[in-house]
């Protein structure tokens, strides 16, 4: 019985083993009363009166006796017809609580099993639904580290910051943008609303989470249309100002005031993760305006990338589907390559080229001698640390030189382990850089499948930049263009960006491994110190060569003087010795 109820085997032992217990076996006979005999209560009863059994289980045999009734769980009595071939089992008081508990347990188990089965059946649809998300509410532990980095300063796009008090002044300009768009495309507001309504669920699914108030379709679509028209007009005010149709003195969309005092702040707001619009909104607006469905994607990409000053010279389809402006900007920073513009040849360049060649020729034997003498005996042991971390200053002291990459691609980080040259992409650092990077990092962390290219770059720059000296070295190599108040501010920016970020395996790991191997060689450090001291520029090389030449001339002059002395005043011949007289 205990096994069947899923209880411990000794749970009923006390009940059946005590001396006074009657719970093991008890036989009762209830003789029936004759029909028609009236009891004290005035009722005709057959058998025993109503009662509950105190034991565990009671087994009854009807024995063709009528009048048996059983109390149901709801308190009503049910008559049981006589059956001489059947036994009736009653749950006694001792077992009643356990039995009810087990019934409830089984019901809960059944409900849980059904729930899990439903979740299994829905798992595929849930995964598909999750893949539709691309715009996220930034978690609190992000915002605690970097306050105000994810909150728009001037204008809201989308539901997360809609209606905030400090953003309301821009709402009237959104309505101006809508009116301007409808006049330009020649479509009615109703047609625009209907076109957006066709994709309303796709637009809602882009946000995670989305407040229930936006289940109101008219309100949600009104926000999408207003924000989309405003964003499109802002993009065109910079990328194509001659065709935007606004007056030059327009406070927002004009060439003069708007581009100088308003657009820089809106640029930062457009690149905030919580302030994104699904790219579908902008696609529909351009389709209605141009009456075309083809080439819309390419035109939109060009418009957005030009707004941010990124050249559009990638092959069609290289960037894939872009979810929103931030996603497109990120792909633009890691996919678009810009070839370096060749520097014009000048008279000074022509004069310096032979000197640089002479410097290289003169350095070669010194390098070979140092390598020969020091490599075999003074190699550093390989570091057991998986991540290689040395500052720019330390890398330079180890013989590594820095060059600007041929592109601004954030993935264009490469190390030439033969010549000891680390190439890094050029980056413009200004007041918006920190906010842009933080939102790019948040997007890569929250959006499955986005990649970690930006995170890897930030992590690498944090490894090699410790203080203002490192920034100054990179600034001189035109790798960092500093638009902040000091080099210390740039170093602090990169160090703060790398807080609470982790990086998996990336192509930059190969670069770090090459740098680690290169820095293990002590002779390269000695070579670097020598070259840094005496070969910083061709003029120092000329001075060194002149000094060596003069020193050589001095030695030659001394040698010739000694030889000349011996020729003129050499030692006299030894006197001849006569033979002794013969006897």
Residue 355 is assigned to a structural domain of this protein: no
Neighbours of 360 (CB within 10 A): 12
Reference 466, options 506, 505, 426, 498; nearest CA is 498
* Angle (CA) 470 472 477, round 5°: 100
Domains: count for the chain:
2
Tokens found for residue 342: 């060749």
Reference 501, options 466, 464, 471, 457; nearest CA is 457
Q: Is the Cβ–Cβ distance between 328 and 304 less than 8 Å?
A: yes
d(CA 155, CA 372): 65
- Provide CB contacts within 8 A for 266, sequence distance 6+: 154, 155, 234
Q: Is the Cβ–Cβ distance between 227 and 248 less than 8 Å?
A: no
Strands 135-136 and 207-208: parallel
Instruction: Give the structural domain span for 239.
Output: 144-335
Question: Which of 532-562 are b and which e, b meaning 16 or more Cβ less than 10 Å from the residue's Cβ?
Answer: eebbeebeebeeeeeeeeeeeeeeeeeeeee
Residue the block writes with tokens 């581009």: 259
**Which residues on neighbouring strands pair with residue 80, listed in sequence order?**
68
* 443 and 322 co-located in one domain: no
* 168 and 313 co-located in one domain: yes
Residue 283 is assigned to a structural domain of this protein: yes
Residue 242 is assigned to a structural domain of this protein: yes
d(CA 54, CA 91): 9
* 313 and 212 co-located in one domain: yes
- Provide CB contacts within 8 A for 76, sequence distance 6+: none
Residue 342 is assigned to a structural domain of this protein: no
- The C-alpha torsion from 439 through 442 and 443 to 446, rounded to 10°, is -160
Which pLDDT belongs to residue 376? 41
Which pLDDT belongs to residue 175? 95
d(CA 133, CA 204): 9
Tokens found for residue 190: 């109703």
d(CA 387, CA 119): 41
* 331 and 389 co-located in one domain: no
- The C-alpha torsion from 385 through 389 and 394 to 396, rounded to 10°, is 110
Strands 427-429 and 480-482: parallel
* 422 and 328 co-located in one domain: no
* Angle (CA) 140 143 146, round 5°: 155
d(CA 318, CA 472): 36
Residue 427 is assigned to a structural domain of this protein: yes
Q: Where among 313, 335, 357 does a domain terminate?
A: 335
Burial of 399 (0-12, 13-18, 19+ CB in 10 A): buried
* 406 and 274 co-located in one domain: no
Strand order in the sheet with 414-416: 401-404, 421-424, 414-416
Residue 202 is assigned to a structural domain of this protein: yes
Residue 255 DSSP SS3: coil
Residue 109 is assigned to a structural domain of this protein: no
Which pLDDT belongs to residue 425? 96
* 295 and 205 co-located in one domain: yes
* 391 and 529 co-located in one domain: yes
End-to-end CA distance of the chain: 152
Which pLDDT belongs to residue 235? 93
Residue 259 is assigned to a structural domain of this protein: yes
* 321 and 397 co-located in one domain: no
**H helix intervals, 245-391:** 257, 263-270, 279-290, 296-307, 325-335, 347-374
Tokens found for residue 255: 């060439």
Q: Is the Cβ–Cβ distance between 26 and 55 less than 8 Å?
A: yes
Q: Which helix (H) or strand (E) holds 142?
A: helix 140-145
d(CA 6, CA 149): 57
Which pLDDT belongs to residue 484? 92
d(CA 478, CA 404): 6
Residue 326 DSSP SS3: helix
How would you write the pLDDT of the chain (583 residues) with one tens digit per residue? 667 666 666 766 666 666 666 555 566 666 655 554 444 444 444 455 667 776 677 777 766 666 677 777 777 877 777 777 777 777 776 666 666 666 666 667 667 777 777 777 666 555 566 678 999 999 998 888 888 899 999 999 999 999 999 999 999 999 999 999 999 888 899 999 999 999 999 999 999 999 999 999 999 999 999 999 999 999 998 877 766 778 777 888 877 778 888 888 999 999 999 999 999 999 999 999 888 777 888 889 989 999 998 876 655 556 778 999 999 999 999 985 444 444 444 554 455 445 455 545 444 454 444 444 444 444 444 443 456 789 999 999 888 999 999 988 999 999 998 889 999 999 999 999 999 999 999 999 999 989 999 999 999 999 999 999 999 999 999 999 999 989 999 999 999 998 888 887 888 889 999 998 888 875 455 555 555 555 566 666 677 777 787 888 888 888 888 887 777 776 555 555 455 555 4
* 412 and 305 co-located in one domain: no
Residue 207 DSSP SS3: strand
* 331 and 440 co-located in one domain: no
d(CA 77, CA 519): 93
Task: Give, as one character, the DSSP assignment of residue 224.
Answer: H
* 295 and 406 co-located in one domain: no
């Amino acid at each position: 019985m205990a096994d069947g109820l899923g209880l411990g085997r000794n749970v009923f032992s006390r009940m059946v083993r005590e001396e006074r217990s009657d719970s093991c076996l008890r036989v009762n006979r209830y003789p029936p009363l004759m029909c028609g005999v009236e009891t004290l209560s005035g009722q005709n009863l057959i058998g025993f009166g109503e009662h509950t059994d105190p034991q565990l289980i009671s087994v009854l045999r009807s024995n063709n006796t009528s009048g048996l009734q059983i109390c149901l769980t709801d308190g009503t009595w049910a008559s049981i017809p006589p059956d001489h071939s059947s036994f009736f089992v009653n749950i006694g008081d001792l077992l009643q609580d356990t039995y009810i508990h087990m019934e409830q347990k089984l019901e809960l188990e059944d409900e849980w099993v059904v729930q899990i089965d439903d979740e299994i059946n829905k798992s595929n649809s849930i995964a598909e639904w999750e893949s539709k998300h691309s715009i996220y509410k930034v978690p609190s532990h992000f915002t605690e580290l970097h306050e105000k980095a994810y909150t728009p300063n001037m204008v809201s796009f989308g539901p997360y910051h809609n209606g905030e008090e400090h953003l309301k002044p821009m709402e009237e300009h959104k309505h101006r943008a809508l009116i301007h768009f409808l006049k330009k495309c020649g479509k009615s507001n109703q047609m625009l609303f209907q076109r957006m309504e066709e994709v309303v669920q796709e637009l809602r699914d882009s946000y995670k989470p989305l407040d229930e108030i936006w289940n109101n379709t008219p309100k949600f679509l009104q926000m999408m249309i207003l924000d989309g028209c405003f964003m499109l007009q802002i993009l065109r005010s910079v990328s194509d100002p001659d065709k935007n149709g606004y007056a030059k003195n327009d406070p927002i969309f004009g060439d003069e005031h708007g581009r100088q005092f308003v657009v820089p702040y809106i640029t930062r707001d457009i690149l905030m993760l919580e302030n994104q619009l699904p790219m579908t909104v902008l696609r529909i607006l351009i389709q209605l305006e141009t009456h075309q469905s083809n080439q819309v994607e390419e035109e939109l990409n060009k418009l957005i990338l030009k707004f941010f000053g990124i050249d559009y010279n990638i092959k069609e389809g290289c960037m894939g589907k872009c979810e929103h402006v931030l996603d497109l900007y990120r792909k633009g920073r890691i996919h678009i390559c810009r070839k370096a513009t060749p520097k014009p040849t000048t008279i000074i360049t022509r004069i310096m080229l032979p000197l640089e060649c002479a410097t290289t020729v003169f350095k070669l034997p010194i390098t070979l001698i140092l390598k020969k003498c020091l490599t075999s005996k003074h190699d550093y042991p390989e570091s057991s640390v998986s991540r290689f971390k040395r500052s720019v200053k330390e890398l330079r002291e180890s013989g590594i030189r820095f060059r600007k990459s041929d592109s601004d691609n954030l993935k264009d980080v490469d190390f030439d382990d033969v010549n000891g040259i680390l190439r890094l992409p050029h980056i413009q650092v200004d007041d918006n850089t920190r906010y842009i990077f933080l939102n790019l990092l948040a997007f890569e962390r929250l959006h499955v499948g986005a990649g970690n290219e930006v995170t890897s770059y930030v992590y690498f720059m944090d490894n090699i930049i410790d203080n203002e000296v490192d920034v100054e070295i990179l600034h001189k190599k035109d790798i960092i263009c500093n638009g902040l108040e000091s080099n210390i501010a740039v170093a602090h920016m990169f160090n703060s960006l790398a807080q609470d970020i982790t990086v998996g395996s990336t192509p930059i790991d190969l670069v770090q491994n090459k740098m680690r191997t290169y820095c293990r060689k002590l002779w390269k450090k000695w070579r670097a110190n020598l070259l840094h001291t005496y070969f910083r520029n061709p003029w120092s090389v000329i001075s060194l060569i002149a000094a060596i030449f003069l020193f050589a001339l001095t030695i030659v002059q001394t040698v010739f003087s000694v030889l000349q002395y011996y020729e003129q005043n050499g030692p006299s011949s030894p006197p001849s010795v006569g033979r002794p007289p013969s006897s």
